[in-house]
Amino acid sequence: MTLQERLFNDMKEALKARQAGKQRLSVIRLARAALKNRAIAKGEELNEQDVLDVLAREVRMRRDAILEYTRVGRMDVAAELESEIAILDEYLPRQLSGEEIRELALQAIATTGVSEARQAGNVMKMLMPQVRGRADGKIVQEIVRSLLTPSN
């Protein structure tokens, strides 16, 4: 079963659950709308990787919004966004831990032979296809830069 089929089936289940599935239904509808918009922009059907990319972008947008709502003291909205992220996470592959990303980054650094932080882009080019959909690019970049920056 594809992710889009799974989203559709879960949306039907949330509809049947009525009030209990209200938030889940809302999140799935927003995700399906984002997928439809991406398919229209692309001009063709989405493959599984495209679906994962859209869902990961939806999670990333919510995480960014949480930071802003927390900064202005709107903890109620931040908590709601956290629960939406939990729903979307069910459709994404297991996220890599910081240590797993670090190990992959060390391998990429060794393979590319990069030794300076200004060459981090070469490592990122090699590393991102390996972690796509399983790690946030910002976190990967921070780890790569920390590994390439000499400690004082």
pLDDT at residue 59 tops 70: yes
Task: State residue 88's pLDDT score.
Answer: 93
Average pLDDT over residues 82-86: 94
46 within 8 A of 39, measured Cβ to Cβ? yes
- Residue 44 backbone class (left: φ over 0; alpha: ψ -120 to 50; beta: rest): beta
Domains of the chain from N-terminus onward: 3-89 (1.10.1510.10), 98-148 (1.10.10.410)
Task: State residue 136's pLDDT score.
Answer: 82
Average pLDDT over residues 7-11: 94
pLDDT at residue 152 tops 50: no
Task: State residue 151's pLDDT score.
Answer: 59
Q: What is the pLDDT of residues 25-45, one digit of tens each?
A: 999 999 999 999 999 999 999
Residues in Cβ contact with 35 at an 8 Å cutoff, skipping those fewer than 6 apart: 4, 7, 46, 51, 54
Q: What is the pLDDT of residues 85-143, one digit of tens each?
A: 999 999 988 888 889 999 999 999 999 888 888 888 889 999 998 888 788 888 899 99
